Structure 1
């Protein structure tokens, strides 16, 4: 997945051809004719092309957003004349404290400036020594302008335009650009909020569940039955750890543990439905014929990650983390469950219960990964499964055959 898709603001397309237009035509297009365009970068590219065709000498332009995303603090779309796509860059948390950002027009706008406008081609004109200006001069640009894109509740983003015409922008060009800023702010806010809603859903309920919710699965009891391989993982001795360790250390440990488990699950096509304290529930839908193979591959990679995490913890004087994983396969009810006003999009059913019981059994069996015979039959009886015999699981009338995953 690209950073652009991750931030969810971008979806490149072939731009439309259009006749040169008057600046008022651009405003009408922005307000009235972009409602069917979902992605702001497509609108941005076409905006810059329309400006060029109307005689505004925009050679370089960017839109800079502060975004709500668990990994990224900000995102920038950058366009140069002649390009049919905008390049996309994301910025990690902490970027806002770097010298590059602090000595930039973006920081000045975020700090309250209503406009940044500087000539770059006249050495007799005194301009701030922003780091980016050397880069712009090297590109042959002659003037740089930046304005805030003011969204609701005080959210402030930035749009910039640069000219390569000798002497910079004409005043008529500046007036045209400034007249479009309110409409650009409105159009960009709608797309940004739509994407933020999707990102927040994906962050808290996962990509498939978020898509189902956005598609209208919001009524209690709505859902479907799906076949899935189910994985439940739990951290050992977490109660003792949380009692003895400082709070921040406990949070850091949990985040490291969940990273070690979650990244392989998502990499191999699983979907994490929920974190439950120090445990997690994930499914691998059987609509993928490789679901069982992928689940085993995810566990093996997670085990490698956990070994590395334990090595790092032991260097800091902490005991290694233990864990238990239970795996089963079957039909589950996948949908909305909860009260009238508070719902959880999750899976329930006997198959989930069996996976949970197998995870609990790992403590008594002394094996970190236990799998049901039904899953082993689906995956194929290979040498890396070892039978530990029939086991009685709480809530089940008859014992089931259980297997341990052997080390490679």
Structure 2
């Protein structure tokens, strides 16, 4: 079969229309040539650039995804003509109840609409602020379609143009035909993101990377040096017996926010929450690990003081806690049954930190540190020496230090 060159210099088989060939080329790229690209925002940018090169006048495109995230209900990936990178915006829970969202085309798609199409040139008197923003950007038409992932998960793709008169029927057909391939490509990336997010949420960033890289067999792991911190809330049994359930959950969340945020901000990794306690490590691969742990504790104490002020204003007793700190080698890896594993740390160093946390009840000081940690952190001059204490289950007594009393 003979061929000819179109305006872009691309060979087109005689008897075939230009649009089907261009569409097939982008479809082939989506299905076969994006497997090496991890991020859907980069794929969106390149797809829009290919659309423009193929003669489809896309000036703006977005992908809206629902997310399984503890903070965000969803995210929007936005591309505009001339942008080398897409912009990503996250949206907190509650936005789905706002008037702006309820009357948005994205909500219409989530409610079951198969298409939302708006000719912006023809609705100059439209009072909807969203469409007015598009019009102010010089856009002439907006189209939104559902992106149907498995198990009924519905997301949204939108395309806009600044072409006078909007999209032609050929343009719309071109874009609509890309949706199945875009759906497959986006679902793979979104599930990868969700898997990573869920693992980070439940086991922490480093452990999640280990698991995703294949460290999933029982007993797998490594010995690492770490500064170890164990924190526990005092009188929680009494609180949980006397307080309403929802109040107890709210209290725990407030307490964990105060203690956890500084740990993560200074590079620590929270390995687990244990009822009203937590276990965190600061790997010694970072030179400032011990200093970072101390800063995290100090900031956590300040946040707890603020929280207790709020509680006092509501007539509640202040929250008390104990923190034990030690340093040493730990076994970091998978432990558990054949079918249920926990990615955590174990070893004598963890036991010392746990015993020091328990000792805080006896000596009435909220933060206790071992001599080994204090010497490594070079902070003995800034601490109170409390003497030597035998710790249950440990052979040798431990020299114990505490934060100075104010």
TM-score computed with the length of structure 1 as normaliser: 0.93
Q: Give the match for residue 49 of structure 1.
A: 49
Tell me the distance in 1 between the aligned counterparts of 2:208 and 2:404.
Answer: 35
SS, match of residue 297 in structure 2: helix
SS, match of residue 320 in structure 1: coil
Report the CA distance between 1:19 and its aligned residue.
8.4
Q: Give the match for residue 365 of structure 1.
A: 363
Q: Structure 1 residues 236, 52: closer, same or farther in 2, change over 3 A?
A: same
Q: How many residues in Structure 1 have an aligned counterpart in Structure 2?
A: 389
Larger Rg: 2
Q: Which runs of 5+ in 1 are unaligned?
A: 1-17
Q: Which residue of 256, 265, 268 maps to 2:266?
A: 268
Q: Would you say the 8 A contact 1:232–1:325 is kept in 2? A: yes
Tell me the distance in 2 between the aligned counterparts of 1:191 and 1:222.
Answer: 28
Q: Deviations over 1:116-152 (max 9, x none)?
A: 111110248x97x543101011111111100000000
Tell me the distance in 2 between the aligned counterparts of 1:193 and 1:175.
Answer: 28
Tell me the distance in 2 between the aligned counterparts of 1:130 and 1:154.
Answer: 29
Q: Would you say the 8 A contact 1:384–1:407 is kept in 2? A: no
Tell me the distance in 2 between the aligned counterparts of 1:150 and 1:312.
Answer: 46
Q: Give the match for residue 324 of structure 2.
A: 326
1:305 corresponds to 2:317: no
1:352 corresponds to 2:379: no
Name the Cα RMSD after superposition.
1.4
Q: Give the match for residue 136 of structure 1.
A: 134
Q: Would you say the 8 A contact 1:103–1:131 is kept in 2? A: no
SS, match of residue 146 in structure 2: strand
SS, match of residue 381 in structure 2: coil
1:66 corresponds to 2:66: yes
Q: Give the match for residue 9 of structure 1.
A: none
Q: Would you say the 8 A contact 1:58–1:163 is kept in 2? A: yes
Q: Deviations over 1:223-262 (max 9, x none)?
A: 1000001000000000000011111110000001000000
Q: Deviations over 1:41-65 (max 9, x none)?
A: 0000001010011001111111111
Q: Give the match for residue 314 of structure 2.
A: 316
Report the CA distance between 1:101 and its aligned residue.
0.3
SS, match of residue 132 in structure 2: helix
Tell me the distance in 2 between the aligned counterparts of 1:61 and 1:240.
Answer: 55
Tell me the distance in 2 between the aligned counterparts of 1:69 and 1:403.
Answer: 40
Report the CA distance between 1:407 and its aligned residue.
4.6
Q: Give the match for residue 164 of structure 2.
A: 166
Q: Which runs of 5+ in 2 are unaligned?
A: 1-7, 11-20
SS, match of residue 59 in structure 2: strand
Q: Would you say the 8 A contact 1:19–1:53 is kept in 2? A: no
1:84-233 equivalent positions in 2, closer than 5 A: 84-123=84-123, 130-233=128-231
SS, match of residue 48 in structure 2: helix
SS, match of residue 356 in structure 1: helix
Report the CA distance between 1:396 and its aligned residue.
1.5
Tell me the distance in 1 between the aligned counterparts of 2:264 and 2:192.
Answer: 24
Q: Give the match for residue 388 of structure 1.
A: 386
